[in-house]
Structure formats: C-alpha cells, structure tokens
Structure 1
Amino acid sequence: MPHYGRTTTHTQLRQATSYPYCLKTPLKPQYDGGIVVNPELSQGLTGWKGYGKARIRIGVADEDGNKYITAAATDLAASAHLNVSFHSFAQDFHLDKDMLYSFSAWLRVREGEAHIKARIQPKYSNVSIIIGRVEAREGCWSMLKGGFIVDVSGPATLYFESDLAIAEIWGDSISLQPFTYEEWRSHQNETIEKVRKTKVKLQVVDKMGRPVHNAKVSIKQIEPHFPVGTAITEHILNTTAYQNWFLPRFRYAVFSRDLKWQAVEKVRGVINYTVPDRLLEFVKEHKVKVRGHTILWENPDKLPPWVQNLTENSEYFQAAVNMRVESVVNRYKGQFIHWDVLNENMHFSFFEDKLGPDTLVNLFKKVHEIDPETTLFLNEYFTIEKALDKAASPPLYLKTIAELRQKGFSGTIGIGLQTHLTWLSLPYMRASLDVLASTKLPVWVTELDVSVYSPDRVWALDNAMREVHSHPTVQGMLVWGDWHPQPKGCWRMCFTDDNFKNLDTGDKLDKFLNEVKHGDGVHGTTDSNGYFEASLFHGEYEAHLENSKLGSERFLVLPTLEPQDPVILEVV
C-alpha cells in the first residue's frame, strides 16, 4: 500500500458538507489537494498535462490574482464536428484498489453553461470511470464533488469531459484524497456519535435525595428517533408469519405497489381502494407510519394501459390525471408522512410531453392545496448509487428543485433517493449526499436494496445502511424487501425465505437494527456520586434498576447542542 505522507482527521473527512452552488472565487482545495500535484496552480502547469487535443494554459483573475488552469480544443471546428468533448487538463496518479478516493474540483466555463464530468481512466482498461458531475457556467465557480474506487491497482489519469464540445473548461482547487476502509468506518462511527447520539447522565438517589453508588442501571429503547422502515405488500394482511417478522422490526413502511394507479384503477373509472385501505388500517393499528407511494409515475410502462390510450385526446388525458390526483390525495390526506408526487420524473417525461413543461410544479401545487401538511417528495434512482447516469445526478436534482422554486412552489420539497445498488461506491455516495445537503431539505433513502447480481451483496447492504445512517442530512431510510409468494418472490432483494426465516441479508439487517436500537440494552453501574453516563441513540427510553424493586423512569434523548439534565432514578 503506498504511503500518502500524512494522517487525515475525521473532521477533514467531511469538509465542505455545506455545498456552495456558484462562487465568484473558488474555495481552498479539500485536504490541501490530497495527492494532487499543484492543486491551486501556484506552480504554473507543474503536474498537469493536456488530454485529447487540448491546449492548456494558466489564467489569472483580474480581481484578485487567483490562478487557475484552462483547457480548450486546439481545433474547435473539428471538435464540434466530431462531438469530441474530452479535451481538458489532466493529471496522472497511481491508484490502489484497497483505498477509497474522495474527489473535488472547482470548475467554470469561459462562455455559457456546460455539464462537466470528471473521469478516471485506468491505464489497463478501455473503460473510464465517471467520478462526479457538475453544472458549470461562466462568471462563477461551481464545486464538483465525487468519489470512486478501482478494481485493480495501477496508473490512471484524471481528466474532464464536457457535454459541449467547444467549451473551454477552467479548473482550480482540485483535490484527490485516498482513505483506507478502516479510516472510513472510523469516521462513520465518529459522525454517528455526533449526529445520531447524545451523552446522557442518569443519577440514582434514595428517597432523601442522596446519591446511591454501585447501583446497577439498565436502559431499554422504547422508540427510535431515526426512522428505518421497509416496503410491504398486501400479503402481510393474511400472513401471520409475515406480520411477526415485520412488526418487531419496523415503525415505518411503504406500500410497494398497492397505492399505485395501475393497482387501484385497472379499468378506467373503476377505482378500488380496498387493498390500500386495509393496509392503512393494519399499519395504523400497529402505530406504523407510512409514505404515500406514488400519486403518479412518469414511466409510461408503469401506468394502466388505458391511460396511454387517452394521450391522443389531451382534454380526456388531463381529466384522467386530475381525477387520479384528486381521488387518491383527498382519500388519504393527512394519513401519510410523505407523498411521492411524480415518481422518476427526471428519467422520464411522459406527463410533461402530454401536458407541458409546467406539469411537475402544477402537480406539486395541486397536491399541496389538497393536503398541505404532508411533505411532497421527488423520488429518483441513480442519484447516489453511481455517476454513470446523468438524468437524476445530484446537479440535475438541484436543478429540478430550483425550477420548482422558480415556478412558484413554496411548500417543503422532500428529496427521495431510491438507492437501488448493484455495486457500492462509498465515496460517491457520501459526496452525492454532501451535494444534496446544501438544499437544507428533508432527505430520505426510500427504496434501498442490492441486486442479486451484486458481487458482494451482503457487504454492500451493510455498508450502504451504515453510510446512510451516518450522514447528517439523511432523515430516514426504507429498505425494499417486498415479499410475494413464489413464483413471484421479491423484486430485487429478499430478507427472508418463504417461511420468514432470515436469509443472510436479513441477518445483516437485524444486526444493523439491533445496533441502532440498543437491542441488547445498555447496562452500567453508578459511581460514587450516583451517576451513570451512556451515549444513546436519539429516541425514547426507559431506565430501571436491576435486581431490585427500585424505581424506573421514561425519558427522551433528542438532538441537542446543550447537555441534557440528568435523568433521576429514585429508590422506591
């Protein structure tokens, strides 16, 4: 393993979580540039080279003398004709397959706007890796934040690619920092201590108020603060074993398909809410909160066939859409914690193509008018899973949110991240969440699963759950284990067999849940002043004294910057 010359602190490991959109002057490079040679271009072009047929040079800002690197194709006409877009500045590295790499760069273009990708080209592969994306523009600097891992150690080249072949790319404060897996996990744990847990003091006193030392204290979590849930199907209603598996584990759920348009209105005008009504009754009985998924789905293949047949008559089509929205939202208003309004609207455009470019904002306004207390969500895939897909990448997600605001929607917008994994890049996932955190909006991971084709499925599930839980911006997480009887089975990932005995994925899920719920309890002994201190996940707890008829007390542990008052347990 190569030596990188210094130790990175956990504080440095999440630098620039507050993600600025566009600045007049770029900030300093993360991690002082890491292993990048000459990250701030203070040494001219040292360490840098042209990629493709690029002409590179050093620019100097008139206002403050800041130096930056620029790259443009040597033959702009040929580049435009051939649509060759990877003429850029570049740098060579030796990469290690046992490391995780965090990347960032400040970019702008000389004229107009351009979507820019950062890429890594391993020397011994014909396939480059997209490691991050940003929407760059003239006049200000935007931060591209990304990350990656490699399968094979060896030399590789960092370069940039624009969707505009004639774009002149400017760059500054470029950083590439490697971390070991041990460093990464250590940082996850440190962040969890800071953002998911609080230190709590309990004091045991007798009825005269005097401290009791050497008292054995036991603490049990009653209700967790961080929501973890799963997808459920109609089969839970009549399957006792399914209920017995689900109910002890979760207080949050989503109906995997039973609320969708194609499930409740297979024939035009014949609306049947029997199954979602029964599911809602079931979860309410057991005090389980539910996400409303989904009012509409942008993918035409996921709509009732009769809806597609209406598209030749825009008046009938609009009427059908209005009826669907009004019907489902009025029926369930105030009963869901979220609504997914137009599922996967960044990947598909079926409704916009038929109803116009303001369809999304009109839907958000209409749903908000009917159900103003429920948070309305966008819900997309391939936002934090991988950088290969542009459609719902973090910068495009930010752009969609900005367009909703510009067009007049003022209600709360939720960021839904489906998180359907085949392979896991922890650095890219963290970088993407950092970008989305800049919005200060609610962020939920809504459909986490790992494909059966994943080379290390259980490892990916475990590490994805931990990464999500450790990120300060994420407010909740649902895993997607939608069980159906054979031969249908689960969509991508089951946690149990058909007898509801855990599979290896279920065991890993249970281990995670046990940790975040303090499943084994928290136990300790009071000191000479009657105190016992514990670091507890946020939630509701009950404390009592072991092996005695002494007192018990319920208390809340909440996120706070101030120390909580001690919880007093009084001897009865």
Structure 2
Amino acid sequence: MKSFQILVILFSALLTGCAASSPYDYSATTDCLGGPWSPLYDGGLIGNPNFDSGLDEWDKFGLGKVELRTSKYVNNNYMVAYDRKMATDSFSHIFYVQKDLYYTFSDLTAWFQIDEGSEIISAFVQEPNGTNVIVGSVIAKSGCWSMLKGGFEVDQNMKVQLFFAVLIATFSKNTDIEIWIDNASLKPFTKAEWRAQQNKSINKVRKRNVRIHVTSEDGLKLRGAKVIINQTRSEFIVGSGTTSYIVDNKGYQDWFVSRFAAATFNNEMKWYYTEVGPDMENYTVTDAMVSFFRQNGIAVRGHAVHWDATNVNQYWVKLLAPRDIFRAAMRRVGSIVSRYSGSVNGWDVMNENMHNSFFEEKLGANASAMFYQIVRAMDPQTPLFLNEYNVLEYPMDLKVIPWKYVEKIREIRAFTGNENMPLSIGIQGHFLLKPNVSHIRASFDILGATGMPIWLTELDFRRGPNQVFEFEDVMREAFAHPAVEGIIVWAGWKPTSCNERCLSDKNYTVLPTGCMELCLVDSNFNNTPAGDVYDKLMKEWKTTNVTGYTDKEGIFEEKVFLGEYSLTYSHPLIPRPVITKFNVTRAKEPLDVWVSL
C-alpha cells in the first residue's frame, strides 16, 4: 500500500508540472474520417497512444484476442480486438488516478472503427472493487474512423483499468464485431486548472473589447471625458421554467422579471393543456402568460408543439385511427404555431423523440421529420429544437449519447425538403445523479462540432446538501462553452412547490408530493441557497457601473460581456451628461463606438 501511495504522489507531481502548459482542447468532429487525428497531448497519460511501439502498454481485456495491424491507406498502426466471446472483450490500459482530478478523453479521446456495420462502442473505467463506470460512447462504423470523447472523476486515489465494449448490437452479433482503436489520449486536469480554463473561455467567447471614442461636435478628440457603461441585457440568455401563477401573483412577477431573460412554460403550452378534449381548445391561460412576458421583454420558448411519449398524449388522441391522429396533430400544429409565431424564440417541435415514438408508430417513421418541415414552413424565422433528457445526465443511456443525437439530426434532415434545415440542440439536464463535469464538456464538444446552437432547456438537480455546488458547476460549464447559447433553469414556482414542507424534507431520494427539486426562492420569494448561487453568477456575468475617463486620443477602452448597453458620457466643457445605447456582439476585433458632445 505504501508503494502505491508513493506512486500517487509522484504521479500528482508529474500532473502538476505538465497540465498547466496544455490547455483543454475543445476540438471534436462528428464526421467519420478516412484517418484519425493525431493523439492530442501526445497521448497524455496513455503510453504508446498510436501503437508505434507495437502493443506496448496495452493488454487484452476479457476472452478475445488482440493484434496490431497497419492501415494500407494512411500507413498508421492500430490495435484490433477480434475473436471476441463477450460484449466486453476488447483491450485495456491501466492508470493510477488521483482524487479530485478531472480525467477527460481528448482529454479521453480515442478513435474507433469496426470491421462491418455500425455499432455503439462505449468506454469504461473499471475500479479495483470491480465497479465499471461508463465514461464515453461513440458510433463506430466500417471503413472510417469515429472520435470518442468522454471523461470521468474519481473520489479516491486508485488504480483503474480502461476498457471498451459493444453493449448493443443492432446489425450483428456483437461478439462477431472486430473493434479497432487508434490514437488514444487521456488528459488530467486539477479543479483549479478546470476553472481557469472556464474563465479563459468566458473571456474569449462571452466578452469583447469596446473602445468608446468621445469627440466634440466639430470632431475634436476630447480627453478627460467621463464614461459610464452599464449592461442592460446579456447576449447569453438565461431563463427559467414558469407556471400559470405568473399571471396574477405580483410577487412572482416582480421576482421573475428582475432575474430572467427567457421563460419556458412548464405545461401551459403543451397540447394536453390547450386541448383537453377534441375540438375543445382553450388558450386563455397561455395567452395571458405570453402577453405578460411580451410586455416585459422576456423571450418565450415554444414548449412544445408535440410530445412523442404515449403517456402524455390525451386519451382521446390515443383512441383515434391513424388517419384521424394525423388530422388532429396537423390541426394542433396549425393552431399553436400560427397563434404564437413571432412571440416565441424557439419551438420544441417534437419533444423527446429519441426516447419515444408515439407519432412514428401511428403515422410512420418520418413523422417527426414531417412535423419539423411543417413548422418550418409556417414559421421560418424561429429556431426549431430537438429536446431530450439524459444526454448529459446519464451516460449509460445509449439512446441519447451525443453521437445518437447527431444521428437524429441527420435523420430529420434526410427527409425530402429538410436538407438544409437549421436546427438547434436542446438538452434538458435533469440531474438526479452527481454531474460528471468532464463528460458534460466532452458532450458539448461533440454536439458543438455540428455548428448548431446548444441550449440547456430544463436544468435542475436533486435536492440535498450538494445541490448548490452541482448547480454552480454545471452553470459555469455551460456558460463557458463556446457552443452553448442559453440556459433555462427548471424552477417554475408555485405557492406549494417550495414551501417550508418542501425545503425542510430530508428524504432527498423521494420528492414530496407537489414539491420541486430545484427551488431558487421559498414561498415568500426569499432566496434559497440555490437562489444565492444563481444571483451570484448573474452578477459575475454582467458588466455594470464601469466608469473611466478618455485618454489623450479621446478613447476609453474596456473588455465587457456581450449584450446591450447604456452609455453615459460627459465632459467638463458640457453642461449635462449624454446617454446613448450600443450593442456588443461576438467578434475578435474591438468594437468602436463613436459619440460626440
């Protein structure tokens, strides 16, 4: 045991010395390539990452066989697991890992191919007690290389074994598949380095230098002009779920308007809410909610046009024949989209259609793609979203791994007429388990490689003593990632959802009836600890009360968060200050704002 502790100490010293010089690499691809990229960080902790030294550092895992092969086309070596007997038969690499470090595959990255078909390959870390923890998955194909990106964190110093498995085989017996691997890498980060990388990314993608040029009316550069900058709206949108209580509860209205830039209705825009019975549409509450948010300049997400789960569709819909389901569903699309076109900033067209298939079973395999096309035709300016759970929360859910999400996007776009359809990526984020932050970042990387905007659409966390820390960790991770454009915190308030009974209950595994997992305020709109975290982050991510004076060139320069601004400027020669507005959008070069007195 003592020798293992010495190894860990030496290993930690090595990490501290090398990690700071190698920042996190956000690069990823969802293309299946003719040859893999070179191993990042020269492989990091993985010895012999590109198999230039044969199979050194690697071993067989399970009952199959392994061998080294060389590509005829790109002249690189790779490792093959073949003659496999079980799903987990593959190859492995052993590491000594340390508590409180993030281990990520790119940062793990590895490139995979199989000899026939297309299957999901998952990476696992096996702990000394035999526990297998999934740390990433990829769809591997025959004839090209696909990139797996994932990550993990451990809660103690230990020796672990990295191995790979084909758990679900769709086109063949999974033991018949050969698994090929090449150019693997594993990169450790301390928590301080992880946070520093977040801050670096925020500084790069959420901020921009602004130069305020102050001149007199005749163009003279004014030195010593006083400049005050205040942000009035952020480009990065953070909103909340909401309930119908927003319509007539003044306390709820004041609290919401003072904090959020967007709203998602928990239920009040869904089909089962607006049409309880056939031809019994009622938009009274929904209209009132939309009107309130429009009056207060708060964006509304269209959640949702349809929901693909059988149990949430009305009883009368499920009793209809397929042709009548089609008519009712089309009437619903026409009703909701025409009513709120121009009033929403995005449509969840078919909610959770990777886990569910009600409309596909009733109307055919292209049902979702058809509805996306119809909504696009009716409202061509509003972004259309997919919206799924477990993408980040539960890596073991292979239905919604990032590569499956990309596959679903391609499926929708393959429908005739949808070829160039812009789509956006909705990830719900209901974290009932501890978030795996390195897996979250890797998932953002893969999905971000599509070039499509990512939103966290329903973010909440299990109640308990660690909730506030998990909330802050995921909020920071999302805000820092270049591909993420918005967050909806799932904190729709009701008088009974965050009362004393809900907040004091200590049975964290069972949610009390009527209570919410994430409460930002109590029943009197006093902040909870989670509410304090939210307010802290919003203050940190906003540029306020920046005051300075122009130099001899009449310029005042400051790096500010992207968004809309109020600018107040004055000069001793001018009797009163002047107020104007400007907007800071994303760009590499500084924004020049010219004003005159």
Range into which the TM-score falls when normalised by the shorter chain: over 0.9
Q: Give the corresponding residue for 1:333.
A: 341
Q: Does the 8 A contact of 2:50 with 2:183 survive in 1?
A: yes
Q: How does 1:290-439 map to 2 (within 5 A)?
A: 290-310=300-320, 313-408=321-416, 409-410=418-419, 411-422=421-432, 423-439=434-450
Alignment-derived partner of residue 43 in structure 1:
53
The aligned residue for residue 108 of structure 1 is 113
The answer to whether the 8 Å contact 1:555/1:567 transfers is no
Counterparts of 1:65 and 1:526, CA distance in 2: 60
Q: 1:12 to 1:21 in 2, by over 3 A?
A: farther
Aligned partner of 1:533 in structure 2 is 557
CA offset at residue 492 of structure 1? 2.3
Is the aligned partner of 1:143 residue 2:167? no
**Counterpart position of 1:514:** 539
Does residue 466 of the first structure (1) align with residue 476 of the second (2)?
Answer: yes
2:95 equivalent among 93, 96, 99? 93
Matched to 2:339, the amino acid is R
Matching residue within 264, 277, 281 for 1:267: 277
* Distance in 1 (alpha carbons) for counterparts of 2:25 and 2:149: 12
Structure 2 residue aligned with 1:451: 462
The superposition leaves residues 261-310 of structure 1 with CA deviations (integer Å, 9 ceiling, x where unpaired) of: 11112222211111111111111111111110011111222222222333
Cα deviation, residue 59, structure 1: 0.6
8 Å CA contact 1:544–1:569 kept in 2: the answer is no
Identity %: 37
Structure 2: how far apart are the matches of 1:253 and 1:27?
A: 41
2:579 counterpart residue number:
552
Partner amino acid for 2:536?
K
Structure 2 residue aligned with 1:14, among 3, 10, 25? 25
User: Which among 533, 547, 550 is matched to residue 523 of structure 1?
Assistant: 547
Amino acid at match of 1:111: E
- Whole-Å separation in 2 of the counterparts to 1:543 and 1:569: 12
Matches of 2:223 and 2:18 in 1, distance apart?
A: 42
Q: CA deviation at 1:330?
A: 2.3
C-alpha displacement at 1:567, in angstroms? Answer: 4.0
1:493-519 CA deviation, whole Å, 9 max, x = no partner?
11100111111111111111112222x
Structure 1 residue 451 displacement after superposition: 1.7
Structure 1's unaligned 5+ residue stretches are none
- How far apart in 2 are the matches of 1:323 and 1:485? 35
Q: Gapped runs of 5+ residues in structure 2?
A: 1-8, 169-173, 498-512
Give the aligned partner of residue 500 of structure 2. Answer: none
Alignment partner of 1:202 is 2:235: no
Write the distance in 2 (CA, Å) between the matches of 1:434 and 1:20. 10
The count of residues paired between Structure 1 and Structure 2 equals 556
Question: Secondary structure at 1:199's aligned position in 2?
Answer: strand
Aligned equivalents of 1:135, 1:417: Cα separation in 2: 19
Aligned-residue Cα RMSD (Å) equals 2.0
Query: Aligned pair 1:565/2:573, yes or no?
Result: no
2:69 and 2:77 in contact (8 A); partners too: yes
Normalised to the residue count of structure 1, the TM-score between the two structures is 0.93
Residues in 1 aligned to 2:376 and 2:216: alpha-carbon distance in whole angstroms? 54
Give the AA of the match of 1:289: A
Contact 1:15 1:30 in 2 (8 A): no
Superposition map of 1:56-75 within 5 A: 56-73=66-83
User: In 2, Cα distance between the equivalents of 1:323 and 1:211?
Assistant: 62
User: Aligned partner of 1:446: which letter?
Assistant: T
Deviation of residue 561 (structure 1)?
2.5
Conservation of the 8 A alpha-carbon contact between 1:540 and 1:557 = yes
Residue 29 of structure 1 aligns to which amino acid in structure 2?
P
Tell me the distance in 1 between the aligned counterparts of 2:244 and 2:213: 47
Does the CA contact (< 8 Å) of 2:564 and 2:581 recur in 1? yes
**Could you say if the C-alpha distance between residues 286 and 546 of structure 1 is closer, same or farther in structure 2, counting changes exceeding 3 Å?**
same
Offset at residue 527 of structure 1 (A): 3.9
1: CA distance, partners of 2:22 / 2:592: 28
| Contact 2:460–2:518 (CA under 8 A) maintained in structure 1 | yes
Question: In the aligned structure 2, how far is the partner of 1:53 from the partner of 1:35?
Answer: 26
User: Does the CA contact (< 8 Å) of 2:118 and 2:140 recur in 1?
Assistant: yes
Distance 1:66 1:97, change over 3 A: same
Alignment check: 8 A CA contact 1:481 1:490 kept: no
CA distance in 2, matches of 1:133, 1:302: 30
- For the 8 Å contact 1:333–1:371, the answer to whether it is kept is yes
| Distance change in 2, residues 1:25/1:544 (3 Å) | same
